[in-house]
Amino acid sequence: EVVVVWFRRDLRLEDNVAFYHAVQSGYPILPLFIFDKDILEQFSQVEDRRVQYIHEHIVKINDELKKYNSGILCYHSTVSQVFEQLTDNYLIKAVYSNEDYEPQAIQRDREVASFLQRKNIPFYQYKDHVIFRGGEILKQDGTAYQVYTPYAKKWRSLLTENHLFDYSVGLEKALFHHFQSDIISLEQLGYRSSENRKITNEIDLAIISTYDQYRDYPGIKGTSLLGTALRFGTISIRKCVRIALKENDVWLSELIWREFFSQIMYLYPTVEKHCFKSKYEGIKYRNNEEDFLAWCEGNTGYPLVDAGMRELNATGFMHNRVRMVVASFLVKHLLIDWRWGEAYFAQQLLDYDLASNNGNWQWVAGCGCDAAPYFRIFNPTEQAKKFDKDGSYMDKWVPEWRELYYRQPIVEHKFARERALEVFKEGLKEY
Ligand code: FAD
C-alpha cells in the first residue's frame, strides 16, 4: 500500500503542501514525476534549458530521497499510460498533488481524476503555487477584478498568517516506499545539456531589501532572478511572501502581479488566444516576417532593443524593463501581432509562464485587462538614456553600439510612432 505524490510545478520537498498532507496520511509515500510526452512535444528544440532545469531538480530530489532508501519514480510517457501502469503495479490508497491553473493542466487533471475515481482512488489537490487562486479574490458583487490596483488592495487585506504557513516536514519523520530509482538521462529524453545561467532558487536578501531602488536598471543586478524557481516551484511562494513582507513592499507587489495574471488566465481562459479587450482584434498588424526576424535576432538598430533580445537568446532571461521596451517595439514600432512576440518569448524564456507572459504581452499591446493605453509608445532611445545611462547593459550585449556606424534603425522612431497611432486608432474604430 502506498500514497503517490505527483510532482509537477512544485519541484521541491521543502514547504510543499501536497507532500505535507501525504506525510500526514501515515502511508508509505511513492514520489512520482512524469516527463509528459504530450507536453515535451511542444518543446521542440534539442537544447531546451527548461527541460534541463526540470531534470536537474528531479535528480536533486532523487538524491535527497536516496538517504531514506527511496527515490522519485520517473517516467517518460503520457499521463494516462503512467496511471494505468501505476494502478496495475501498486495498491494505491490515494494520489496527492498541487493544483495547476493552466487550461491544459486543468483538463489533464480532470481526466486523471475521473480515471482514479473509476478505480476508487481519491485524488487530493492542494493550493501551493499561489497564495490566492482564481476566484478567491473577488469584488463585492462577486465578480473578478480586472484592474490590478484594487485587486492588490483586496489581496493584501485578505492575507492572514494561515496563508503563509510553512508546510516543511522533517524527512526523517516521513514514511517512504523503499525502492531505488534511476532517473532517465537528459540524453535519453532526447535533449542535450547546455549551460544554465541566471537561475537561482535562493533569496538574496541584499537584493530584495533594495529592490525598489534598483529594479529598473538592467545593468545592475537589482532583481531576484527567481522567476524560473517560482515557475517550476523549486521555491515556495509562501516563503517569498514571508520575506517580501519583512523586506520590501515593492517586491511584494510584483509577486501580487503574478497572482493577478494567474487568476485572469484561470477565470478567462480565452485570453490564451484572444485579446482580453475584443475590439483590439480589429488592429491590422503589418506582420512583416523580415522585421520579425530582425527583432528576434537583436538586429533592429536600436541598441537597447537589440541588447534585450541578445540577452534573451543567450541566457533565456531578459530584464523586466527591457522586456517592456522590446515588446512595445515589436507591437507598436513594427506593428507585429503581440501573439508572435508572446510565442517567441514562450520558446526562449526560462521563466516562461503562460499566464504572466500572456498577461504582460497583452498589457504592452494595450488589449489586456488593466493594460497600458495604446497611445503609450516607448521611445527606445529615451528608455536607454533613462535606464541604462552609462550604457553598461548595452555594452555587455551589443558592444558595437557605440560605434558611429552602428546598424541603421529598421524604422525611424517618429515615423513609427505616428504610424502606430494611426493604425491603432483605425483598428479600434472599425471593430
Ligand atoms: P523580480 O523583479 O525579482 O520579481 C519577483 C517575481 O515576481 C518574478 O520572478 C515573477 O514571478 C513575479 N513578477 C515580477 N514582475 C511580474 C509581472 N510584471 N508579471 C507577473 N509576474 C511578475 N514573468 C514570468 O514569470 N514569466 C513570463 O513568461 C513573463 N513574460 C513577460 C513578458 C513580457 C512582455 C513582460 C513585459 C514581462 C514578462 N514577465 C514574465 C514579467 C517580468 O518581466 C518577470 O517576472 C521578471 O523580469 C523576472 O525577473 P525576476 O525573477 O528577477 O523578477
Rounded Cα gap, residues 228 and 239, in angstroms: 15
pTM score of the predicted model: 0.97
pLDDT at position 213: 98
Amino acid 184 reads: I
Per-position DSSP letters for 205-264, written without gaps between them = HHHHHTHHHHTT-TTS--S---HHHHHHTSS-HHHHHHHHHHH-HHHHHHHHHHHHHHHH
Q: Beta-carbon neighbour count of residue 39 at 10 Å?
A: 16
Q: What is the largest CA-CA distance in the chain?
A: 72
Q: Which of 199, 254, 348 to mutate to test the pocket of ligand 1 (most atoms within 8 A of CB)?
A: 254
**Best of 238, 241, 258, 315 to mutate for ligand 1, by most ligand atoms within 8 A of CB?**
258
Print pLDDT tens along the chain (431 aa).
Answer: 999 999 999 999 999 999 999 999 999 999 999 999 988 887 667 678 899 999 999 999 999 999 999 999 999 999 999 999 999 999 999 999 999 999 999 999 999 999 999 999 999 999 999 999 999 999 999 999 999 999 999 999 999 999 999 999 999 989 999 999 989 999 999 998 887 776 889 999 999 999 999 999 999 999 999 999 999 999 999 999 999 999 999 999 999 999 999 999 999 999 999 999 999 999 999 999 999 999 999 999 999 999 999 999 999 999 999 999 999 999 999 999 999 999 999 999 999 999 999 999 999 999 999 878 889 999 999 999 999 999 999 999 999 999 977 889 999 999 999 999 999 999 998 66
* Residue 56, burial from CB neighbour count under 10 angstroms (0-12, 13-18, 19+): middle
364 lines ligand 1 (CB under 6 A): yes
Helix 380-387 and helix 303-315, axial crossing angle in degrees, nearest 10: 70
Distance CA 268, CA 372 (A): 19
Reported as half-sphere exposure (CB side, CA atoms, 13 A), residue 168 has a value of: 8
Output the pLDDT for position 62. Answer: 98
Dihedral over alpha carbons 280, 283, 287, 292 (to 10 degrees): -50
Q: How far is the CA of 147 from the centre of ligand 1 (A)?
A: 18
Q: Is 257 in the pocket of ligand 1 (CB under 6 A)?
A: yes
Give residues with Cβ within 8 angstroms of 351, minimum separation 6.
Answer: 227, 228, 230, 231, 316, 317
